[in-house]
Structure 1
Amino acid sequence: MACILLVEDNELIREMVVLYLTRSGFELTTAVDGIDALRMVQQVQPDLILLDMGLPKLNGWQTMQRLRLRSETAHIPVIALTAYSMAEDRQRALDAGCAAFIPKPIEFPLLVETIHALLQRA
């Protein structure tokens, strides 16, 4: 079973993603901001990270930069989950090192398909 770290500050979105992905057979751990995510990634060593880009304290762009600088986390595929849905936002996330970009509101079948595709590549 793949372990996914979900980094999302909105409680309702966090609960919906956890519920849907748990029912889809994934094991989830959550973090509420970038600082929490950097701590959790060391403890959990996830197979994949779902990262909201609009986080408090340490936003998704800053969190992504720190994940890519660490040799122990640089290889983990990251999917950007964000309300920033313009083409330049997608490109910015990919340039930051995200493997995929899923705009909010989240289309759950697309999310699951993307997770499976990235885990097969890893």
Structure 2
Amino acid sequence: MQKVLYVEDNLLNMALMHHLFKKNLPSVQLLKAETGEQGLEIAEQQLPDLIIMDIGLPGMNGYETLECLQRSAGTCDIPVLAISAFAQLSDLAMARDTGFAGYITKPIQVRVFTETVQELLAGAGRLTRN
């Protein structure tokens, strides 16, 4: 069974993602973390196939968390999909330049999100769509 780690501090968004995975990606186990620090710990322990990361996290933000994941031999090859309400072209460019595998803006479009997750889990690597 494939595993996806979702790092999100908003409990409503967390519940929505849980529902979305249960309905659209039932064969994927969803792991959850509320902070970047907790996400790093879970990623090191569980080695998920994909990490979905909110950018605007309290404490260590999504960019800082990604940087730590990239520096670790155990997690450096795990694709990380950014998900954020920040939707300016500069936000998309920064995410791409930083090394995120893709960028989804909130509110998410369920079909696009589901297809993106499926592609990344199938080994598509970096995606260009947002």
TM over 0.5: yes
Partner of 1:54: 56
Rounded Cα–Cα distance in structure 1 between residues aligned with 2:92 and 2:85: 11
Are 2:5 and 1:19 equivalent residues in the alignment?
Answer: no
Q: Deviations over 1:15-50 (max 9, x none)?
A: 101111122222101000101101111121100000
In structure 2, the gaps of 5 or more residues are 126-130
Partner of 2:92: 90
Partner of 1:30: 32
Partner of 2:77: 75
Rounded Cα–Cα distance in structure 1 between residues aligned with 2:116 and 2:107: 15
SS of 1:46's equivalent in the other structure is: coil
What is the aligned-residue identity percentage?
35
In structure 1, the gaps of 5 or more residues are none
Rounded Cα–Cα distance in structure 2 between residues aligned with 1:28 and 1:40: 12
Letter in 2 for 1:48: L
Rounded Cα–Cα distance in structure 2 between residues aligned with 1:97 and 1:27: 24
Q: How many residues align?
A: 122
Letter in 2 for 1:8: E
Rounded Cα–Cα distance in structure 1 between residues aligned with 2:117 and 2:57: 21
SS of 1:105's equivalent in the other structure is: coil
Q: Deviations over 1:43-78 (max 9, x none)?
A: 211000000000001000100111111111111011
Partner of 2:121: 119
Q: Please, what TM-score do these two structures have when normalized by structure 2? A: 0.90
